[in-house]
Amino acid sequence: MGHKFVNQIGPGETIDDVYIAKDPILRSTTRGDLYIAMFLSDRTGQLNGRMWQATETIYKALPKPGFVHVQGRSELYQNNLQIIINNVSVVDADKVRIDDYLARTDKDIDKMFEEVKEIVGRIENPQLKALVGEFLADVELMERFCNAPAAMKLHHACIGGLLEHTHNTLRVAVTILPFYPSVQADLVLAGIFLHDIGKTEELAYDMAFSYTDSGQLIGHVAKSLLMVNQKAEALRARGVQVNPEVVDALGHIILSHHGAYEFGSPKLPATAEAFMVNCIDDLDAKVGQVLEAINTEVSDSNWTAWKNALQTRLYRRRLE
């Protein structure tokens, strides 16, 4: 029998399969009994897992993250599907088919990367062109760029997700830039290409999507800026002119692309180019979240469960 994917699980089913356990936490009930809360996932999605009457021994044996064999049942709790775990045991990674567990973009990675290179190849400003070219010439970095997820959970959380998100946002930019001729197109394209480049170092994706230690300490926004400065210094060391104001303009886009302090943005957008990148980035991220939530809903309802990240339920029914 093949793997039972998360998106195939309905309420009231017996569960006896292997999933990725992520972020296990040992907690106490109001009566003082121990239980374990975790996420159980595969490439189709993830569910909350709860193991009542747990022990510290069971908790300490759990991988963080890693593969586990779960026996239990599925149930609805506040309209959200979860798995109640009766037994759990660790499974070696070489015993599973990894493609069943890590979500992968359904787009052609090679084709997307070629289109990304073609779009940023239109940049005419010599200093921005040199900076972008320095990144493209870094083969190891571009390998990570093409395979990294764009996020842990919220949007484009899949192998190739960062590339897909960048590809989408660049295509939106080249579509709308002609409507705003006074906006510096070269700066927008370079800013979009590099706004999330730090995620290549922030996120790990070998077994499950998780944060690297460096990613948790520094974060992708700061890492992206550091990487731009490092590439600029490498160019200057070879005698290539990269003026500070060019790096600052690009750096400002990176530092402000989340748009608001409460969304983790160290700076608020203060240029037309930064506003445009913020809006395009937010558009693709939000629509990606909405479509993912609608397409992975397990109930038959016209509405999804409540989505905290979007602060709403989503209507699923399409017009005939």
Q: What are the C-alpha distances in Å from 94 to residues 97, 270, 273?
A: 8, 50, 47
Picking from 32-36, 100-104, 278-282, which range would have the lowest pLDDT averaged per residue? Answer: 100-104
Q: What is the mean pLDDT of residues 11-17?
A: 95
Asked if residue 81 lies in contact with residue 297, where contact means CB atoms within 8 angstroms, the answer is no
pLDDT over 70 at 255, yes or no = yes
Rounded Cα–Cα distance for residues 151 and 15 (Å): 28
The tokens of 165 are what?
Answer: 């998100």
Query: 248, exposed or middle or buried, with CB in 10 Å at 0-12, 13-18, 19+?
Result: exposed
For 258-279, the pLDDT digits (tens) are 999 988 899 999 999 999 999 9
Mean of pLDDT over the chain: 92
Asked if residue 172 lies in contact with residue 165, where contact means CB atoms within 8 angstroms, the answer is no
Rounded Cα–Cα distance for residues 123 and 273 (Å): 14
C-alpha closest to that of 116 among 176, 189, 199, 184: 189
Asked if residue 9 lies in contact with residue 25, where contact means CB atoms within 8 angstroms, the answer is no
Q: What share of the chain is helix, strand, coil (3-state, %, to 5)?
A: 45, 20, 35
Rounded Cα–Cα distance for residues 161 and 153 (Å): 11
pLDDT at 320: 83
Q: What is the mean pLDDT of residues 119-127?
A: 98
Picking from 14-23, 30-39, 217-226, 308-317, which range would have the lowest pLDDT averaged per residue? Answer: 308-317
C-alpha closest to that of 128 among 174, 200, 222, 192: 192
Picking from 11-15, 39-43, 81-85, which range would have the lowest pLDDT averaged per residue? Answer: 39-43
The upper half-sphere exposure of residue 212, i.e. CA atoms within 13 Å in the direction of its Cβ, equals 17
pLDDT at 64: 81
pLDDT at 186: 99
Q: Which domains does the chain have, with CATH numbers?
A: 6-100 (2.40.50.140), 109-293 (no CATH)
Q: Where are the beta strands (DSSP E) in 142-232?
A: 203-204, 210-211
For 134-143, the pLDDT digits (tens) are 999 999 999 9
Rounded Cα–Cα distance for residues 269 and 31 (Å): 49
pLDDT at 228: 98
pLDDT at 151: 82
Question: What's the pLDDT band for 298 if we cut at 50, 70, 90?
Answer: low
Q: Where are the beta strands (DSSP E) in the chain?
A: 14-28, 34-42, 45-51, 66-77, 80-90, 203-204, 210-211
pLDDT at 1: 60
pLDDT at 282: 95
* Bridge-based pairing state of the strands 45-51 and 34-42: antiparallel
